[in-house]
């Protein structure tokens, strides 16, 4: 539809004319706004009401009238090294795929995310690829490959035996890459945070909790491996499919350790993301002062109250429930839990645990927010400004997720009127990142 606009042309400021622009602060769709951007700084110079009766727009200005224009999307929980576990279970991605393949796939994934309108990724752990997310982030920032602006966690912190590739043949001499930077005790977790900061992490991720006792009842993970003949009860408390005796999550750190992680990170102005599902873990992590709770998938009034009290951002990753939960009733409860959080005024951010749903399908999380009954405006806020907050807000070094003066010129342009048809979320026509057209006609501009 559009003519190909050379990426390199924009040395000079230019103007983008819109007829329908979402304001992620007022939560309103503004009419007829003109955005002046500077592709050299990557920032917005001004946002003003368009000239009345604006005629033909000529090059290099852009005429986006007739489209819905939003701040570029932020995926607040992504894994650029992961592709769907339904294709390849995590064990095999982490242990068997070559690091080379994983890095090349990460390049593909970054491109797919960008095409879907996601100009920023908060990437929460490489899942066995050491600190390679650093290299992917920098290759994007250096324009070696196209992709979203990455904020990365490098390796997540976990305690001993907490978050590992599970394999049985240790005595027999098989070793596998580590999945986490292991630390135990207050001094050790402080050191862990410091290692991450020094490695170049943009965000500290820690596992407040995990199903760490999985080797008690090992799953058959290779052809011919035998299942445990008489497993324990697999339905948990009150039918909960997560809190089961088979392998319940349990907290990996005590309160003092969690406090120390957050204290140490915040002293360096670094946001903290905590993996937590059960109320116990959510409450501990929230009380420790984390920036965000990831998943929080066991519905709990007390969890929500605690997050509200502590002003914790909640990243419910509904895609995981959508993909992993067979129990349809429970899936509904998880969605209702997210809606409740929104009603209570808890700040939300959208993140699909992307990779679990494929990169390129990132918008699925927004669709699940909508399915949960969260309003379109609140959903878009969670996918833009909420994402920026999850990245640490001003601590992250950039401003994005809102279209305003001095903010990064990130825009996603959807075909049609999103207010009338949320299907437009999947009709990405143009993506502008840092003031440059990076996707045009749905195709990466290279």
Q: Which of residues 60-89 bind a second copy (CB under 8 A)?
A: 83, 87-89
In terms of CB distance, is 136 or 290 closer to a second copy? 136
Q: Min. distance of Cβ 222 from a second copy in angstroms?
A: 4
- 11 lies in the site for a second copy, by CB under 8 A: no
Binding part of the chain for a second copy, among 136-144, 306-314, 329-337, 356-364 by CB under 8 A, reads 136-144
Of 124, 184, 177, nearest to 155 by C-alpha is 124
Residues 149-168, interacting with a second copy (CB under 8 A):
159-162, 164, 167-168
- 270 lies in the site for a second copy, by CB under 8 A: yes
Q: Min. distance of Cβ 60 from a second copy in angstroms?
A: 19
- 105 lies in the site for a second copy, by CB under 8 A: yes
In terms of CB distance, is 49 or 214 closer to a second copy? 214
**Residue from 16, 47, 78, 139 that binds a second copy (CB under 8 A)?**
139
d(CA 168, CA 165): 10
Cα angle vertex 54, ends 52, 56, to 5°? Answer: 175
> Which residues, 6 or more positions from 50, have their beta carbon under 8 angstroms from its beta carbon?
17, 18, 32, 33, 34
In terms of CB distance, is 91 or 333 closer to a second copy? 91
Strand-pair partners of 35: 16, 47
Q: Are strands 118-123 and 73-78 parallel, antiparallel or unpaired?
A: parallel
Q: Min. distance of Cβ 194 from a second copy in angstroms?
A: 4
Using an 8 Å Cβ cutoff, are 125 and 415 in contact?
Answer: no
- 205 membership: H or E segment, kind and range: strand 204-207
**Residue from 23, 33, 76, 251 that binds a second copy (CB under 8 A)?**
251
- 238 lies in the site for a second copy, by CB under 8 A: no
In terms of CB distance, is 223 or 345 closer to a second copy? 223
Q: What is the DSSP letter of 354?
A: B
Residues 383-412, interacting with a second copy (CB under 8 A):
394, 396-398, 408
Of 274, 298, 301, 300, nearest to 285 by C-alpha is 274
Binding part of the chain for a second copy, among 44-52, 176-184, 341-349, 380-388 by CB under 8 A, reads 176-184
**Residue from 25, 31, 267, 419 that binds a second copy (CB under 8 A)?**
267
- 421 lies in the site for a second copy, by CB under 8 A: no
**Residue from 245, 373, 423, 441 that binds a second copy (CB under 8 A)?**
245
Binding part of the chain for a second copy, among 129-137, 330-338, 382-390, 421-429 by CB under 8 A, reads 129-137
Token couple for 204: 């500290």
Residues 320-359, interacting with a second copy (CB under 8 A):
none
Conformational region of residue 339, where left means phi above 0, alpha means psi within -120 to 50, and beta covers everything else: alpha
- 136 lies in the site for a second copy, by CB under 8 A: yes
Of 332, 294, 248, nearest to 122 by C-alpha is 294
In terms of CB distance, is 263 or 332 closer to a second copy? 263
In terms of CB distance, is 109 or 286 closer to a second copy? 109
In terms of CB distance, is 19 or 109 closer to a second copy? 109
Token couple for 188: 């050790």
Q: At what angle do helices 99-115 and 132-141 cross, to 10 degrees?
A: 40
> Which residues, 6 or more positions from 52, have their beta carbon under 8 angstroms from its beta carbon?
none
Residues 180-219, interacting with a second copy (CB under 8 A):
184-188, 190-192, 194-202, 212-218
**Residue from 3, 53, 58, 223 that binds a second copy (CB under 8 A)?**
223
In a 10 Å sphere around its CB, with 0-12 CB exposed, 13-18 middle and 19+ buried, how is residue 381 labelled? buried
Strand arrangement, sheet containing 149-152: 73-78, 118-123, 149-152
């Amino acid at each position: 539809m559009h003519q190909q606009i050379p990426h390199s042309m924009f040395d000079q400021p230019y103007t983008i004319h819109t007829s329908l622009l979402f304001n992620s602060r007022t939560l309103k769709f503004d009419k007829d706004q003109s955005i002046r951007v500077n592709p050299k700084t990557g920032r917005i110079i001004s946002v003003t009401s368009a000239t009345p009766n604006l005629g033909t727009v000529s090059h290099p200005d852009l005429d986006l009238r007739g489209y819905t224009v939003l701040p570029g999307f932020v995926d607040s929980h992504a894994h650029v090294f992961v592709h769907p576990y339904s294709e390849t279970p995590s064990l095999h991605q982490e242990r068997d795929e070559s690091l080379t393949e994983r890095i090349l796939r990460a390049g593909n994934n970054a491109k797919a995310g960008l095409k879907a309108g996601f100009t920023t990724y908060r990437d929460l752990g490489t899942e066995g690829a050491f600190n390679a997310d650093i290299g992917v982030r920098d290759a994007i920032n250096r324009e070696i490959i196209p992709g979203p602006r990455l904020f990365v966690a490098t390796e997540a912190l976990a305690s001993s035996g907490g978050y590992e590739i599970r394999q049985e043949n240790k005595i027999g001499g098989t070793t596998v890459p580590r999945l986490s930077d292991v630390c135990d005790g207050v001094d050790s977790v402080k050191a862990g945070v410091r290692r991450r900061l020094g490695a170049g992490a943009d965000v500290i991720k820690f596992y407040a909790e995990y199903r760490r006792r999985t080797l008690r009842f090992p799953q058959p993970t290779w052809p011919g491996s035998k299942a445990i003949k008489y497993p324990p009860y697999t339905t948990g408390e009150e039918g909960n499919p997560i809190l089961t005796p088979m392998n319940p999550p349990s907290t990996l750190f005590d309160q003092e350790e969690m406090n120390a992680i957050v204290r140490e990170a915040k002293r360096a102005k670094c946001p903290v993301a905590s993996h937590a599902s059960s109320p116990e873990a959510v409450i501990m992590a929230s009380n420790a002062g984390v920036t965000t709770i990831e998943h929080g998938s066991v519905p709990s009034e007390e969890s929500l109250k605690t997050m509200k009290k502590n002003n914790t951002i909640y990243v419910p990753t509904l895609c995981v429930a959508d993909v992993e939960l067979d129990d349809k009733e429970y899936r509904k409860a998880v969605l209702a839990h997210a809606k409740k959080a929104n009603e209570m005024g808890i700040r939300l951010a959208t993140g699909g645990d992307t990779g679990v749903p494929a990169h390129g399908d990132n918008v699925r999380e927004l669709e699940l927010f909508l399915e949960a009954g969260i309003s379109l405006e609140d959903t878009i806020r969670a996918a833009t400004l909420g994402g920026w907050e999850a990245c640490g807000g001003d601590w992250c070094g950039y401003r994005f997720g809102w279209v305003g003066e001095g903010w990064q010129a990130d825009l996603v342009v959807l075909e049609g009127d999103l207010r009338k048809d949320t299907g437009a979320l999947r009709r990405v026509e143009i993506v502008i990142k840092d003031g440059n057209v990076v996707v045009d006609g749905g195709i990466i501009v290279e």
